[in-house]
Chain A
Amino acid sequence: MKKKLLALLLALCMVFVLAACGSETDSDAETSGGDSGEASGDTIKIGMIGPQTGSNAAYGTSMLEGLQMTIDEINEAGGILGRQVELIATDDRGDATEAQNAFNNLISQGVTLIIGSATSGATSALTNLANEEGVVLITPSATADDITTEDDYVFRACFKDTLQGSIAAAYVEQAGITRVGTIACSADPYSSGLVNAFISACQERGIEVVEQQSTATMDAQDFTNQFTAMASADVDLVYAIYYYNAVGPFLVTQARAAGYDGIIMGADGYDGALDYVSEGADYSAFNDVIYTNHYDPSDTSAAVQDYVTAYSELYGTTPLCFAALASDCMMMLQTAIETAGTDEASAVRDALSDTSVTYEGVTGTFTLDESGTPIKGAAVISFAYDESVGGLDGLGTELVTTISSDEIA
């Protein structure tokens, strides 16, 4: 009887795990209308898939804000091909299944041009669907290598992980660092893909990777043991790939508490982490935390400054790279629709596949390669704590250097 009871308990354990999963995924993707209101047959419908709630919500809300601003500007200037653009935004909560639901939801509304999703995990669930349905999918920020392939309907506005990992390794070499360690979530395409790219680029450049650690999920909360290992392996830089929701509240402060005081290097997922720093934490821990990013908001070029000014007037904050990249996706779509002379998906796709077109976006001037991925450089940005300001306001970012794609080859 006792054994039966315990077998029952175990079964319930599993049921509960499933139930917990269910609670995260069971609600339908919410749909919010675009600004143009009436869904007349005359508008060009653009779908957006991004995490507007859940642990990566900052990415999706940034995307939506940037996209909405760009579409408003396009509509004020007379639309595309004389037609107004209508945005239909959906929420995927950063989850692959939800992303597919959101995708099907958009298809059922007759949308054939989609911008999304923010993370590689969610976007990789959509690429096959997009090709099967013949729907153009442009992702602003999914950097995993295999997102875009030749002869498909998937494009992006960001660099891919092989490039981002190489850029990080190039910076490490420039900084004269020779001993590094890595921490990755092996189950996540973004984290493991980037770290693998970084490791192989390091090996080419003669940088020694002396310690490799991992976590079970991207939502890991405790990095103490991993950084203790880094401290005892005596590395000068740790390449740790997580999203802002782990970096802001947990990773950096735990690394310092575990006795690791070298450089922590990340990637575009660190963007926005400073909004998630626990109040009263040791802010100086964020010194020597650097990351590669798609653009630097303090860049003095006209394209960036115009964008940042317009965005901060509208929303009161500095745009994350996700906003800028989403706006660039819209710009790419606009160019392609105008070239094709129609918003029909296969024609737009053919226009985007033309590798000779140069796009001038907020995140740089670039062309697409055969697979539909931009060839462009990155900015290396550092978190910095200004003690004279103090408190959370003293935390900011500063540009370390920019690395162009030529320096990688």
Chain B
Amino acid sequence: MGEFLQTLFVGLRLGSVYALIALGYTMVYGIIRLINFAHGDFIMVGGYTLIFTVPLMTAAGMPAWMAVIIAILVCALVGVGVELIAYRPVRKKGTNMTALITAIAMSLFLENLAQAIPAIGPNPMVAGTFFESGGFRVAGVTLDYTTIYTIAVSAVVMLLLYVFTQKTKMGRAMRCVSEDKSAAILMGISVNKTVLTTFAIGSGLAAVAALMYIAQYPSVYTTIGSLLGLKAFVAAVVGGIGIVPGAMLGGLVIGLVESFSTAYISSSLTDTFVFLILIIVLLIKPAGILGKNVGEKV
């Protein structure tokens, strides 16, 4: 029982982080049909921002995790910058495919740029702790505070995001643009502004994910976003890419699959199971678990 609970918590904790990252993929895909492969590297940007700003925060007498506010701003800026400098010009001239290749290029560019910055370099950096250690004992297992915060924060963030997309004007605009871009323009919605807001929010979420991930695994390196981003992308596809609740569900599914296959099958095969789930879901329901199979509009 204790082992089952521990595995469940590990899965939920990982899944919460995947869900936060998957939201970034799904929001951008939903609105401009672009798989933003550079999204994983926004986590890296967030991670390094946290490492460099935590000393400023503690010097100012604030708790270390407050540095996430700066990280959100920096990530949002990088996200908006990438859209303005790379994606938008390419989208205007080229096809979806060119935009996709640009995204891969941006991903490699960000990773290598980070390596080239002397303060970062190619070697991993160790982060300090963000939350106090310790936790509750439940049924013989320790549920540490970092795990509780990770699950709680991502649940709150996802709830806020859901309310934002359903109730606010900008949220409605996002859904409109994602449904029909030209109709949205006719309704007086500024598509460019909406796309920029989407990038800012998605990238900001990556900073929150970075905080939660580094609080658990206190090591930051330039390729931190590669596998993490890939798994979150799988989560987004499994849940149904372009659908906000789908990303949340997909993240949790992938996190739980990873944790339970580690504990009960074989940890050497964990990643195999993650990608196996992807293939199975795509075979049974190609649009993802929550995806609706609508015909392509011509």
Binding site for B on A (CB under 8 A): 1-3, 6, 9-10, 12-13, 15-17, 19-20, 22-24, 53-55, 57, 93, 185-187, 213-216, 220-222, 224-226, 228-229, 232, 245, 248-250, 253, 257-259, 276-282
With known contacts A54-B123, A216-B271, A224-B6, A279–B129 Cβ distance under 8 A: yes
- Chain B nearest CB from A306 CB (Å) reads 30
**CB nearest neighbor in A for B111:** A23
Interface string of B271-296 (1 = CB under 8 A from A): 10001001100100011000001001
Could you say which of B71-79, B84-92, B198-206, B259-267 contacts chain A? B259-267
- Chain A nearest CB from B257 CB (Å) reads 13
Q: Which chain B residues lie closer than 8 Å to A57 at the CB level?
A: 122-123
Report the Cα distance A1→B7, complex, angstroms. 39
Within 8 A of A (CB), among B74-133: 100, 104, 107-108, 111-112, 121-124, 126-129, 133
**CB nearest neighbor in A for B33:** A5
Q: Which chain A residues lie closer than 8 Å to B263 at the CB level?
A: 225, 228-229
With known contacts A24-B223, A276-B126, A282–B6 Cβ distance under 8 A: no
Most chain A CB neighbours (cut-off 10 Å) among B6, B135, B270: B6
CB pair B133–A225 under 8 Å, yes or no, is: no
B32 at the interface (CB under 8 A from A): no
Q: Which chain B residues lie closer than 8 Å to A93 at the CB level?
A: 122
CB pair B128–A279 under 8 Å, yes or no, is: yes
CB pair B218–A249 under 8 Å, yes or no, is: yes
CB pair A278–B128 under 8 Å, yes or no, is: yes
Q: Which chain A residues lie closer than 8 Å to B18 at the CB level?
A: none
With known contacts A3-B286, A6-B237, A277-B126, A222–B219 Cβ distance under 8 A: no
**CB nearest neighbor in A for B262:** A225
Q: Which chain B residues lie closer than 8 Å to A2 at the CB level?
A: 286-287, 293, 296
Report the Cα distance A277→B268, complex, angstroms. 25
- Chain B nearest CB from A385 CB (Å) reads 13
Q: Which chain A residues lie closer than 8 Å to B287 at the CB level?
A: 2
Report the Cα distance A222→B141, complex, angstroms. 16
CB pair B267–A225 under 8 Å, yes or no, is: yes
B48 at the interface (CB under 8 A from A): no
CB pair A225–B6 under 8 Å, yes or no, is: yes
Binding site for A on B (CB under 8 A): 2-3, 6-7, 10, 14, 35, 37, 64, 100, 104, 107-108, 111-112, 121-124, 126-129, 133-135, 140-142, 144, 216-219, 221, 223, 226-227, 230, 233-234, 237, 241, 259, 262-263, 266-271, 275, 278-279, 282, 286-287, 293, 296
- Chain A nearest CB from B271 CB (Å) reads 6
Report the Cα distance A253→B287, complex, angstroms. 40
With known contacts A55-B124, A216-B270, A259-B140, A228–B6 Cβ distance under 8 A: yes
Closest 7 CB pairs of A and B: A280-B129, A279-B128, A278-B218, A20-B226, A53-B122, A225-B263, A228-B6
**CB nearest neighbor in B for A51:** B123
> Which of A6, A20, A258, A259 has a CB less than 8 Å from the CB of B227?
A20
Q: Which chain A residues lie closer than 8 Å to B262 at the CB level?
A: 222, 225-226
- Chain B nearest CB from A258 CB (Å) reads 6
Report the Cα distance A31→B73, complex, angstroms. 39
CB<8 Å pairs between A and B, sample of 11: A12-B37, A13-B233, A19-B104, A53-B121, A55-B123, A57-B122, A224-B10, A225-B259, A232-B3, A245-B124, A258-B142
Q: Which chain A residues lie closer than 8 Å to B7 at the CB level?
A: 225, 228
CB pair A226–B219 under 8 Å, yes or no, is: no
> Which of B128, B144, B259, B296 has a CB less than 8 Å from the CB of A280?
B128
Q: Which chain A residues lie closer than 8 Å to B141 at the CB level?
A: 228, 258-259
CB pair B268–A232 under 8 Å, yes or no, is: no
Report the Cα distance A214→B261, complex, angstroms. 12
CB pair A257–B111 under 8 Å, yes or no, is: no
